[in-house]
Structure 1
Amino acid sequence: MTQTIPMIHEDALPGHESQLEPKPEWQPRYPGSGRLAGKVAIVTGADSGIGRAVAALYAREGADIAIVYLLEDDDAQETIRIVESEGRRAIAIKADVGSRTACDAIVEQTLAAFGKVDILVNNAGEQHPDKDITDISEEQLKRTFQTNIFGMFYLVQAARPHLQAGAAIINCTSVTMYQGSKELLDYSATKGAITAFTRSLSENLIEHGIRVNAVAPGPIWTPLNPCGGASEEKLEHFGESTPMGRPGQPNEVAPSFLFLACDDASYMSGKVLHPNGGIIVNG
């Protein structure tokens, strides 16, 4: 099992879902229909939040899951339990996606356990709010980019030789890529890079029958926000600025990842879906 110590661990990232109140809603909302039967998925950041909801929904639809996480062993084991309760197999891989060698090991362990990789979900990310750009240290800037975008390059590079025609890659970008965020300068910049990466990688791989898409969530109730340095005032009003007037739940985002992973989206590549509470982004 691969373990790379994170370069920095400001705030309380990535945060324990088991300690979060109220608990995020990860539960799939409908019976499975076999849309991912026999598939194998790698889901990064799958111990909690959106990643856990994606793993749960993929398992219900028939996929076996490699659950990649950074630190929270208890949360990862709970996601394992959730996947297994759906009758599917799961492994937990403790790894820092900001490390190329760790990403190589993630793919190797997935192949050893399941024999193939059909779906790659690049969901892991970190954020560090700062009120002024001069507050962003060089170390923080490098670390945010290393986790949020370098890790996607590393994992795609590791998985690419094993992805066959029909495979799908889904990246997690953000509404902040389209709207901006005055206190999440480095985070928003990485999300812009992820969107460009998604569109460019789609062009690169489409002739090989591999689809690449992305999901850009709005404000979603996950450990990333309360554990990522958000103020009490911001948390109190989290999500209220959306047209729906509330934050979203992980299980309201996971269906977008399912759609892009399965044959329902067989004619879509290079696209971004926007589960964001009604925010118009024109992107």
Structure 2
Amino acid sequence: MTISADQIPAQTQDRQPALESEMTPPPQYDRDSYKGSGKLKGKVALITGGDSGIGRSVAVLYAKEGADVAIVYLDEHGDAEKTQQLVEAQGRRCLLIPGDISNDQFCGEAVQQTVDQLGQLDILVSNAAEQYTEGDMDEIDAARLGSIFGTNVFPMFYFVNAALPHLKEGSSIIITTSINAYKGNASLLSYSTTKGANLAFTRSLASRLMDRKIRVNGVAPGPIWTPFIPDAMPAESVEGFGKQVPMQRPGQPVEVATCFVFLASEDASYMTGQVLHPNGGVVVGG
């Protein structure tokens, strides 16, 4: 069951990252009609930003498909513990790894902890990000750029470098980019720029790892109802969120997570360097 834009009331949160547990209505991270079929049986996935939003839904659907998961998050402990419960309810293991992904040493430790405790690593999902609404250019100063690139861009390199010694032929790396990497967004200038970097990284890394038969693909969501929205937008802008796309409603995390299942599975064995676009009907180039 989807949620219409009219069901999204004005709201904001006074912390970043925002909490999924405080959103109204709650995002849909699963649906009863989704039945796992063992697509990821015996696999281990590490998901950054796995505590909530798209990351939580990916963790739940991966568990339904037979994978154990490690989720990396900053400090949203309540949301992370909820995700852990959801994964374990599917009979799979879920390792919680809190910390700051802008620190390359932490990223390496997170990968090693995943391998040590879950036995291997087959799927790396680089999903964690931050964003800011910017009215004026002078809001985008060195501190802002350092923060957003330190979260949205540099950790891709940190995690991939740490993961590659453990990834085998047939492994998969999936990067979350954005519709804004293709069409731009005047009010999310710094964020959109980092998402363009995510896109370029996906395509370049796919070519680099072709000989190792490790696939690298991306997902470019449109307006999705996640904690990103109340932590980055003014309360009045959140009301009616999602009306701007042809479907005239926000997407739900579960409507995006299915792309991550496909790209991680053998169903996508002939795809690398590609991007899927769950965006409510917006046609973008590239």
TM-superposition CA deviations, 1:78-130 (whole Å, max 9, x none): 00000000010111000111110010011111011111100000000000111
Q: Which residue among 127, 133, 151 is the counterpart of 1:129?
A: 133
State how far apart, in whole Å, the 1-side matches of 2:194 and 2:211 are: 27
Report the AA paired with residue 116 of structure 2.
A
Q: Distance between the aligned counterparts of 2:79 and 2:239, measured in 1?
A: 24
State the 1:241 CA deviation: 0.8
Give the superposition deviation at 1:164. 0.5
Distance (Å, rounded) in 2 between the aligned partners of 1:119 and 1:192: 22
Q: State the alpha-carbon separation in 1 of the partners of residues 283 and 15 from structure 2.
A: 32
> How big is the shift at 1:11?
5.8
Q: Which has the higher contact order (CA 8 A, sep 6+)?
A: 2
CA displacement at 1:231 relative to structure 2: 1.4
Q: Which residue of 1 aligns with 2:224?
A: 220
> Is it true that 1:58 corresponds to 2:62 in the alignment?
yes
| Aligned positions of 1:157-176 closer than 5 A | 157-176=161-180
Query: Helix, strand or coil: the match of 2:217?
Result: strand
Partner of 1:81: 85
What is the aligned counterpart of 1:203 among 195, 207, 210?
Answer: 207
User: How is 1:1-283 mapped onto 2 (pairs within 5 angstroms)?
Assistant: 12-28=15-31, 29-228=33-232, 230-283=233-286
Q: Which moved more, 1:22-31 or 1:159-168?
A: 22-31
5+ residue gaps, structure 2: 1-12
Cα distance between partner residues in 1 of 2:136 and 2:284: 25
Identity of aligned residues (%): 53
User: 1:67 and 1:205 mapped to 2: Cα distance?
Assistant: 24
Q: Normalized against structure 2, the TM-score is what? A: 0.94
What is the TM-score of this pair, normalised by structure 1? 0.95
- Matched letter for residue 254 of structure 1: A
CA distance in 2, matches of 1:212, 1:72: 28
SS at match of 1:68: strand
- Name the amino acid aligned to 1:149: V
| Aligned CA-pair RMSD | 1.1
Report Cα offsets for 1:36-66 as digits up to 9, x if no partner: 0000000010100000000000000000000
SS in 2 for 1:177: helix
Aligned residues: 273
Distance 2:192 2:269 in 1: 29
Q: Distance in 2 between matches of 1:13 and 1:232?
A: 14
Q: 2 CA distance for matches of 1:232 and 1:92?
A: 31
Following TM superposition, the consecutive aligned residue runs of length 4 or more in structure 1 with deviations greater than 4 angstroms are none
Return the alpha-carbon distance in structure 2 between the equivalents of residues 77 and 231 of structure 1: 28
**1:225 CA displacement:** 1.1
